[in-house]
Amino acid sequence: MADDALSGVNSMVSSLNASINNAVEAIKKSQSNQAVGDVKEYSKTVKKSALTTTSGATDIGVLAKNTTRLNVASTLAPNDKVDFYKFKVTSKGEMTMGQVGDDGLRVQLMNKLGRVVADSDPKAGDDYKAFKQLQAGNLTVDKGDYTLRVSRDKGQSDKDPKNYAMQLVMGNYSQDFDTVAKQPAKGDTGQQALTTGQQATLDGLNQAIGSMNSIPTGQTGTQKLMGSFSLFV
């Protein structure tokens, strides 16, 4: 079983190396969001809800223009179909989202009514155009509650774990909030059983991601996101 876990980790490292290279260009915009003064950093490690609905969304914080930057790192585990993250925007403005991780992930931004505002699926029409604006820092969003929905692209195997980190910012920032979202506790309602090899792989992944708390403050968006994966390579 240990060999199975090691093989799984090696496979994820290979995928991460390729996907990080592809993602760097998409998140370069976040480098223009500058740290202001002595940045205060806050970190938390939480367990995701076993509920696969927006009501079980993991809270990643409050996005305040020119004040806060929100970062989240996690894994879409084998047989898990979707992860949800919620956050609150305090004022209207242009939001930027940076992302690194495995290929084959679909990310959707939804408003408090559950309507999709931006969608990473190239076939999503105007919602895809909005997603490209979001990556470039040109998507204007209203004040209110929002949810990020993370799932696999159509055709991706549910058995393959998908690693990712995402970042949200509006303008500059002086406070950095990190959320490390781990898998639900074994036996939680709705959590599907994993093989011993899969669990060992995920346990190692979660332990490594947990070291994200030691990332120095004041980093650019690219440095911040890639830092959460540097322990794998």
Check if the beta carbon of residue 18 is closer than 8 Å to that of residue 103: yes
User: In percent, how much of the chain has pLDDT > 90?
Assistant: 55
Q: What angle do CA 17, 23, 26 make, to 5 degrees?
A: 165
The torsion of the CA quartet 146, 152, 155, 158, rounded to 10 degrees, works out to: -140
Half-sphere exposure of 131 (CA within 13 A, CB side): 21
- Which stretches of the chain score pLDDT less than 50? 9, 13, 16-31, 190-194, 198, 205-206, 208-217, 230-233
In DSSP terms, 140 is beta-bridged to: 94
Whole-prediction pTM value? 0.73
Phi, psi of 134, rounded to the nearest 5 degrees: -60, -45
Predicted confidence at residue 193, as pLDDT, reads 47
Predicted confidence at residue 195, as pLDDT, reads 54
The residue type found at 114 is G
